[in-house]
Amino acid sequence: MGFRQWLESPRRVLGMFLAITLIPAAALAWLGWRMLEQDRALESQRVQERLEYAADRVSAALERSLAEWEGQLESGGTVPAGAVVIVGRGEGMEAHPAGRLLYYPVLPAPGGAGPSWFVAGEDAEFRESNPGKAVEIFRKLAESPEPVVRAGALLRLARNLRKAGKRGEALEAYQALIGMKETPVAGLPAELVGREARCRVWEESGAQEELRPEAEMLWRELHGGRWRVLRPTYEFHAEQTRRWIGASPETDSLALAGGVEWVWEQWRAERIARGRRLLMIGDRPVLAVWRSTPDRLSALVGGPEFVASWWARAVGDSTVKCALTDADGRVVMGKLDASAKHQAVRAAAATKLPGTLHVAAEAAENGLGARRRILMAAGAAVAILLLGGGYLVFRAVAREMAVARLQSDFVAAVSHEFRSPLTSIRSLSEMLARDRVPAEPERRRAYDVLVRESERLHRLVEGLLDFGRMEAGTAPYKLEPLDPATLVREVVAEFQEQVAEKGYRIELAAEPERLGIRADPEALARAVWNLLDNAVKYSPESKTVEVGVAREGEQVAIHVRDQGIGIPASQQKEIFRKFVRGGNAPAVKGTGLGLAMVDHIVRAHGGRVKLESAPGQGSRFTLLLPAEQAG
């Protein structure tokens, strides 16, 4: 083979050009890549050093704050916002400042009047079922100078007034009970008992307008740390109040109280001398710092607001990403970027922090020096040369390669399309010739198949010949007036016979008015047939195809709609080119000429083809033809 013959192949020309240009370009790129890798490694080292410094700075700031608070546990001082200092001795505990805890882990010994004071009244209430008599007894006791006796009597007085149906007097008794503030009654503050009881009275009477302000006041006092109660008591009254007014729980305050409870339980159980712990109460962070002896506990517990302030002061306006994780690896503060290229970690055991500190950052893309800029400029120049030369060569050979590929695909598709009917015709002819079909019904079916396959083969041949004549311009169209609805109806009826045995149903909808166009009946029928054939081929699941004929302004529209696989937007122009088939269904049989022929026919009639489709939603092809003007 001579060199000139070797160059006749477009692929060889393109390959030779790429070899000549890419080898030196690849060498230059390799050298540039090596230099960039060195710069990148140097910059990566610098970033890591900055991260290590940032991690040391943040951990030192966090540790300094913790040390200051530990010093305040002994010396006293202002308690930061969102935190509380607790002091425990024996079985008792105090919290400073007051009003920041929703509930306490332990309460002082319960006080209140002894049951002997109320025996007579309770006998009248329960044994004799005489609330009126009980009211008189408790009313006298409610005038006692002893607060605890008066509070217990008011509670029982109001209860019996409710039983006697005297709701107004009961509410007055409960109001008097509210005025006794922290006086213990039934193990709870009198004010809490009175407010909750008044809410129940209003609820029982259905007085929503009076209930809501009363419940809102109870909610404010309950969540303002007004009363010293245990967690079960708080949860019970909080749930009742939320039921009345639909309020949301105070998650930050709940987390603070939960942290205090955790510290108290740890001290009571383990007697740990000192410690720092970062907790997750629910989904809120809590910080606990404590010192203790077997007889005394001193601790600072900070809620979410306090932890966020502590973290913000330490991190500051740092450009790196910082995160703090607890002993279980959960992120408590900040955001942990596990995919970051550079990280610095400070373990809790080394820093004495209540968690592990993570500092991360991406590699900086600036400051790599003049070599990167020079290499980028050189690379850009080489790229421009390659793209310019490649474009010229590609334009020279791309069309030849595309034509060769399409022709190859077309020959393969046509061969397959011809092989199927020829195989059926040959097989059935051989069976009939050798008398292998003895029964008359089987012979009749064989003849029907022969006729159908022969017609299919005839349509394939005629389609190829017609398209060739269309392309060459040797097949002029014979335009004549016709009714498109009648023509479409005939095509649909004939096509329905062809696909009925496969379960397909063609539904036709045409306007009752007579429509007129000038068209070649045979050519237009072929266009409609091709659209129906495509609808069936690309609708393997849905067996219904809709066909319609209607007027749209000055045009007549013939549409064919299927519920098939649809056509992506990127292919909706390409499929009207010859030899091209939808790439989303390469296994569908066909020559790739059907839609090209439809487009050619419609354009020859002065119309256009409109396509509406999306993957998985079917396709709608519309032939828009000029309507014939009346008169």
**3-state SS record for 577-601:** CCCCCCCCCCCCCCCCCHHHHHHHH
User: In terms of domains, do 267 and 243 share one?
Assistant: no
Cα dihedral 64, 65, 69, 72 sign: positive
Is the pLDDT reported for residue 461 higher than 70? no
User: In terms of domains, do 206 and 267 share one?
Assistant: no
- Percent of the chain's residues with pLDDT above 70: 74
Mean pLDDT is lowest, of 39-43, 440-444, 469-473, for 469-473
Is the pLDDT reported for residue 583 higher than 60? no
User: In terms of domains, do 172 and 288 share one?
Assistant: no
Domain end residue (candidates: 199, 217, 248): 248
Beta bridge partner(s), residue 547: 508, 560
Answer yes or no: is 596 within a domain: yes
CATH of the domain at 594: 3.30.565.10
From the CB of residue 519, how many other CB atoms can be counted at a distance below 10 Å?
29
Tokens encoding 627: 């309507």
Identify the helix (H) or strand (E) that includes residue 545: strand 544-552
User: In terms of domains, do 71 and 197 share one?
Assistant: no
Tokens encoding 452: 């159908």
Buried/exposed code over 33-65 (b: 16+ C-beta within 10 A; e: otherwise)? eebeeeeeeebeeebbebbeebbeebbebbbeb
Is the pLDDT reported for residue 136 higher than 70? yes
From the CB of residue 576, how many other CB atoms can be counted at a distance below 10 Å?
16
Q: Rounded distance, CA 235 to CA 248, Å? A: 13
Quick: pLDDT tens for 182-211. 888 888 888 888 888 888 988 888 888 888
List Cα–Cα distances, 262 to 223, 228, 257, 468, in angstroms.
Answer: 20, 17, 9, 89
Quick: pLDDT tens for 237-250. 888 888 888 877 77
Average pLDDT on 32-52 reads: 75
Output phi, psi for 608, to 5 deg. Answer: -150, 165
DSSP string, 459-487: HHHHHHHHHHHHHHT-S----EEE-HHHH
Model pLDDT, residue 396:
59
- HSE-CB of 446 using CA atoms within 13 angstroms: 18
User: In terms of domains, do 486 and 586 share one?
Assistant: yes
Model pLDDT, residue 560:
92
Average pLDDT on 424-437 reads: 69
- Return all residues near 512 (Cβ < 8 A) that are at least 6 apart: none
Helices H, strands E: what count in the chain?
17, 18
Quick: pLDDT tens for 501-543. 888 999 988 877 778 888 888 888 888 988 898 888 888 888 8
**3-state SS record for 251-302:** HHHHHHHHHHHHHHHHHHHHCCCEEEEEEEECCEEEEEEEEEECCEEEEEEE
User: In terms of domains, do 323 and 285 share one?
Assistant: yes
Answer yes or no: is 241 within a domain: yes
Q: Rounded distance, CA 191 to CA 175, Å? A: 9
Is the pLDDT reported for residue 294 higher than 50? yes
Q: Are the CB atoms for 292 and 272 separated by under 8 Å?
A: yes
Model pLDDT, residue 406:
53
Is the pLDDT reported for residue 369 higher than 70? no
Length of the chain: 631
Q: Rounded distance, CA 228 to CA 621, Å? A: 77
pLDDT band at 547 (very low <50, low <70, confident <90, very high): very high
Tokens encoding 12: 């060889």
Q: Rounded distance, CA 191 to CA 221, Å? A: 10
Structural domain count of the chain: 3
User: In terms of domains, do 154 and 186 share one?
Assistant: yes
Answer yes or no: is 371 within a domain: no
Q: Rounded distance, CA 600 to CA 530, Å? A: 12
Regarding beta strands 544-552 and 505-510, do their DSSP bridges make them parallel or antiparallel, or are they unpaired?
parallel
Q: Are the CB atoms for 277 and 288 separated by under 8 Å?
A: yes
Q: Rounded distance, CA 536 to CA 289, Å? A: 76
Model pLDDT, residue 548:
92
User: In terms of domains, do 481 and 620 share one?
Assistant: yes
- HSE-CB of 616 using CA atoms within 13 angstroms: 0
Answer yes or no: is 355 within a domain: yes
Model pLDDT, residue 418:
59
pLDDT band at 354 (very low <50, low <70, confident <90, very high): confident
User: In terms of domains, do 227 and 135 share one?
Assistant: yes
Q: Are the CB atoms for 37 and 371 separated by under 8 Å?
A: no
Average pLDDT of the chain to the nearest whole number? 78
Q: Rounded distance, CA 248 to CA 54, Å? A: 39
Is the pLDDT reported for residue 23 higher than 80? no
Gap between the terminal Cα atoms of the chain: 71
Quick: pLDDT tens for 602-630. 888 889 999 898 888 888 999 999 988 65
Q: What is the DSSP letter of 629?
A: P
Residue range(s) defining the domain that contains residue 535: 477-626
Model pLDDT, residue 108:
75
Is the pLDDT reported for residue 2 higher than 80? no
User: In terms of domains, do 75 and 198 share one?
Assistant: no
Identity of residue 484 = P
Is the pLDDT reported for residue 580 higher than 50? yes
Quick: pLDDT tens for 143-183. 888 888 888 888 888 888 888 888 888 889 889 888 888 88
Domain end residue (candidates: 213, 248, 283): 248
CATH of the domain at 234: 1.25.40.10
Identity of residue 208 = Q
Tokens encoding 47: 């970033």
Which residue, 475, 627, 617, 611, is CA-closest to 542? 617
pTM: 0.52
Q: Rounded distance, CA 153 to CA 575, Å? A: 93
pLDDT band at 454 (very low <50, low <70, confident <90, very high): confident
The single residue listed with the structure tokens 């040369």 is 385
From the CB of residue 359, how many other CB atoms can be counted at a distance below 10 Å?
28
Answer yes or no: is 472 within a domain: no
Q: Are the CB atoms for 333 and 285 separated by under 8 Å?
A: yes
Quick: pLDDT tens for 339-349. 777 788 888 87
- HSE-CB of 585 using CA atoms within 13 angstroms: 22
Beta bridge partner(s), residue 71: none
Answer yes or no: is 177 within a domain: yes
Model pLDDT, residue 363:
52
- HSE-CB of 224 using CA atoms within 13 angstroms: 8
Quick: pLDDT tens for 379-428. 677 667 666 666 666 665 665 555 556 555 555 555 556 566 767 677 66
Average pLDDT on 90-106 reads: 85
User: In terms of domains, do 68 and 209 share one?
Assistant: no
Q: Rounded distance, CA 377 to CA 371, Å? A: 10
Answer yes or no: is 398 within a domain: no
User: In terms of domains, do 97 and 125 share one?
Assistant: no
Is the pLDDT reported for residue 586 higher than 50? no
Beta-sheet strand order (sheet of 92-96):
92-96, 83-89, 296-302, 284-293, 274-281
- Burial category of 488 from C-beta neighbours within 10 Å (exposed 0-12, middle 13-18, buried 19 and up): buried
- HSE-CB of 144 using CA atoms within 13 angstroms: 18
Answer yes or no: is 395 within a domain: no
Domain end residue (candidates: 222, 248, 274): 248
Would you call 180 helix, strand, or coil by DSSP? coil
pLDDT band at 571 (very low <50, low <70, confident <90, very high): confident
